[in-house]
Structure formats: structure tokens, C-alpha cells
Structure 1
């Protein structure tokens, strides 16, 4: 027969266990664990220098966030005088990332901002070579930017930076200094710290993802995560932010993803596309979707 003391002890233990389960539940949703950190930092990436100061890296993870993941990136050393970053975009049209890159004679490229799928043109603020190409349309009822337009990549001459916008002030993006400004979001990292993300389907569901990141030693990283395939599940944004933080990025900005996710490296495949775009529902390099603008590497 149980004593009152034994009963209270078991009740206390049960309450403690339930509390732990409730506390841990959000952690399981995003599945980021110390084991995932270890997989990221110990993975041996395939690397190829495509030019001085420009390296293409690729890795396949059999079990990252309890799933298969395919990651490609182009790392640009901005201290190298031969390397520059630029933008290309259409105010009211769309084109393949690989075509943007080939027409510009670029070494590499990644798809960039969200866009109007019916008429083309970015739905976020874009300035190229001092000229405004598009204004931000992704606005909240109070006139401030949506979370998917809360950060910006600024390129001016030989410098590049990623900044978190002032979401309390309407029109902050128009006032950013720099000849080349590209607004997107959500912002993922600032100063090596994960930026708080809203709870919604866009952020929390797994999709192919594209991102741009900046390191403490002045490297710009263009990264794609493939998805919507048994060989590559894709990531939610907390997982993407976790990956980038463990990889040592300081500032990082989410770009348009899904079927738009495309990384181009000149001469590495027939089209130059090195990741596995999902728009054709095949795990090959041929599923590109036309986009409004791109980030270019020269």
C-alpha cells in the first residue's frame, strides 16, 4: 500500500515530466540538436575554386534535422580586388537566373527577391546602379514593411553589408544609402545572433530556400538548400538560421525560395545551375523558375 509521501513524490515527478515535455515541444518542432551542430561542423564539403576569391562548395547530409539535405553555396572573398558583387533585375518581367548570369557574363548568381508572379518585377525595394527598379509592395496595414521585407543587402563598390530594417518606420528601405540595395526577408542573423521569427506557415514549413550571408572576415555567401524531394527535404527558417549560425555567418537574409531557389556557377553544368531546382518536380538541374532579379558574382 502506497504511503502519502510516496504518492506525493510520484505526483511531483509526473508534474515535472509533463512540464519538461511542454518545454521541449517547441524544440522538437524544429529538430535542432547538438548532434545537428556536430554534423554541420564536421561535414567535409566538396570544394572547387572557380576563380581567385570565389569558391563553390557542396554538401549532402543524410541526417540533418532528421532528414536528407542538399546544400550548395558560393563563397566570395570581398577582400580580393578581382571580385565584385552586382544586381540584375527587371522592373516588370521575369527571366531565368542562369540567363541573367550568362547575359551579364557573371561567374555566379543566385535568385533574389520575391516578385509578382503574374506581371513580374520585385515586390520589395530594389535599387540598381543608383536607379530605383521596384518599390516595396509587401506592406502591413500601418504602412510598415512585412517580415518578408525586413532586411536588405547593400552593395556599394567593393563593400557589401546585410542590415535589419527599422520595422517601426515606414519607408526606411528607401532611405538606405548605397548604389545597389535589395530588400527581402525575413532577416535570419544579425551579429551572429538569430533574429526572432514570427510563427507562420511560411517560416515553419520546409521548403527549398535561398539566402545571402556575410562573415566576420568579409566573405559574402550565396547559399541554396534544395527541397520537395526524397533526396532533399528542404528547411524551415529556424533550421536555415541554425545552419548559417553554426557555419559561422554573422549576418544573413532569407531570399525568395521554393521553386525559385537556384544557384548558378559558370561552366559547372550544361546550364550552369549546380543545385536541384524543384519547379519540374525532378531531382536534376533543369527545374529553374523565372525570377525578377538576381545577385551576381564577377
Structure 2
């Protein structure tokens, strides 16, 4: 299976907003200045600390680059830290109209309802990948505070991190649907707000893949048919990777 990852936009006025390290190679450094509106987007990171072990840490470019782990993805906001629902307090200006703020200002960006992706883990070290649909009459979405509450109260997550949301939110399970997409991406509803189907996924710069290690299981999975426009093909083909 695969899910979208962190904020991988490259800005004309500031560069990348996230840190990304895969298989020991740093693909992306945080290049935005501290005064940039989107600087907050690398507040925390999802780190693979062992074959089946993961950690969620709060830090910055310097810390992430110094860690001796092969796979690190930064994002924001941190939702739960060691059982504490810190995401409930990320937005400082919760009430009132926020149209005076830039769309990427954290108080506006994380207070609004919309599609969201979260990575989390439980006390017994289970990894949770949660896709929440939105921007539809059938699913309005969720904000950072509500996402924190849901993960904490219903899924019993002890640590959690909000990833890239909006039109990027995509969960792929090979063979589960004709396209492999099991959620309802919002991009395809730009022309038809009432459409609610497993299509419309955008091409994401990177993703988190969960692959079976047993050869027989892997071979069986690879034999499942998937439509050619699925997100897995977009991710696995380097030609489709966008900067």
C-alpha cells in the first residue's frame, strides 16, 4: 500500500519546505527562511528508527540532518507527542474570520476543515496511516484539533503527525479498487463537487510505501491488476517525480 507524504512543494521565493531522507539519501533540505509563511511546515518529523520501529520528533533542519537514520520525513503540525495531544493547541487564533491571514498561515491552514493525512503509532508500536476525505457534500473534512482528538480518543495513538492534506490526500491499496485508490481524492471534484469516486489523485512528489517482506506475498501483490493512472505508478516511475 502507499499514502501521500509531507509538503513537497518547491517555492519560487523560498525553496523546499520539508526535509526528506530516503534509504540514507537526503532528497530535500528545508530551504525556506525562518521568516517565510510556510516555515512551520517542517516542525516535526516521522523517523524510521528500526525495521519495525518509528518515532515522531520535534525539531528543525539541523536536527533532522544530524540523525543517523535512513528514512526521515518532516511535516507539521505534530498532533500527539508521548500521549500529549499537542495538536489541540497548535492553532493560536481559533475563533473568528481568518480571511485577513495568508492561506498558508498556520492559524488559517490548520483551523479550516479539509482532507487530511496523518501518520501515528500506538503504545504497542502499531503504525497507523489515516486518510480523511473532505471538500465534498459527503465529507467536509476535519481540522488539526479534531484530527488530534480522533487519533487520541478513538485510535489510542500515543504519537501522531499531520502530513500534506488537501488534494494530495491519497491512500492506495493494490487491487482494492480499479485504480488502487481507496479514499476519495478531492482534486477530481474541482469540476464536479458532487462527484465522490476513487479517482482524481494528483501526482505526489513522494510517498510512504508499505511493502510485504515475504517473497510469496510480494509476488502475489505485484500480480494484482491496477489501472495505469494509479498513484503507485506515479510514485515508482522517476520520470513522473516533480521538483
**TM-score, structure 2 length as denominator?**
0.71
Name the CA shift for 1:190/1:122 in 2 (closer, same or farther; >3 Å). Answer: same
- Do the aligned partners of 2:10 and 2:16 also contact (CA within 8 Å) in 1? no
Is 2:167 the counterpart of 1:259? yes
5 Å matches for 1:108-119?
108-116=1-9
- Do the aligned partners of 2:184 and 2:198 also contact (CA within 8 Å) in 1? yes
Q: 1:223 aligns with which of 126, 130, 134?
A: 130
Structure 2 residue ranges without an equivalent (≥5): 93-106, 190-194, 212-243
2:199 aligned residue: 286
Higher strand share: 1
Name the CA shift for 1:211/1:122 in 2 (closer, same or farther; >3 Å). Answer: farther
5 Å matches for 1:1-298?
108-116=1-9, 123-141=17-35, 146-166=39-59, 171-195=62-86, 196-199=89-92, 200-246=107-153, 247-281=155-189, 282-298=195-211
- Do the aligned partners of 1:162 and 1:213 also contact (CA within 8 Å) in 2? no
CA distance in structure 2 between the partners assigned to 1:288 and 1:116 by the alignment: 16
Q: Which moved more, 1:215-224 or 1:170-179?
A: 170-179
- Give, in angstroms, the shift of residue 176 of structure 1: 2.2
Larger radius of gyration: 1
- Give, in angstroms, the shift of residue 138 of structure 1: 4.3
2:240 aligned residue: none
- Consecutive aligned runs of 4 or more in structure 1 exceeding 4 Å deviation: none
Name the CA shift for 1:156/1:294 in 2 (closer, same or farther; >3 Å). Answer: same
- Do the aligned partners of 1:153 and 1:160 also contact (CA within 8 Å) in 2? no
Name the CA shift for 1:152/1:160 in 2 (closer, same or farther; >3 Å). Answer: farther
CA distance in structure 2 between the partners assigned to 1:229 and 1:137 by the alignment: 34
- Give, in angstroms, the shift of residue 147 of structure 1: 2.7
- Give, in angstroms, the shift of residue 139 of structure 1: 4.3
CA distance in structure 1 between the partners assigned to 2:147 and 2:162 by the alignment: 9
- Give, in angstroms, the shift of residue 137 of structure 1: 2.8
- Do the aligned partners of 2:45 and 2:72 also contact (CA within 8 Å) in 1? yes
RMSD of equivalent CA atoms: 2.1
- Do the aligned partners of 2:172 and 2:181 also contact (CA within 8 Å) in 1? yes
- Do the aligned partners of 2:45 and 2:75 also contact (CA within 8 Å) in 1? yes
Paired residue secondary structure (1:284) = coil
- Do the aligned partners of 1:112 and 1:295 also contact (CA within 8 Å) in 2? yes
**CA deviation profile, 1:32-73 (whole Å, cap 9, x unmatched):** xxxxxxxxxxxxxxxxxxxxxxxxxxxxxxxxxxxxxxxxxx
**TM-score, structure 1 length as denominator?**
0.59
- Do the aligned partners of 2:16 and 2:32 also contact (CA within 8 Å) in 1? no
- Do the aligned partners of 1:122 and 1:292 also contact (CA within 8 Å) in 2? no
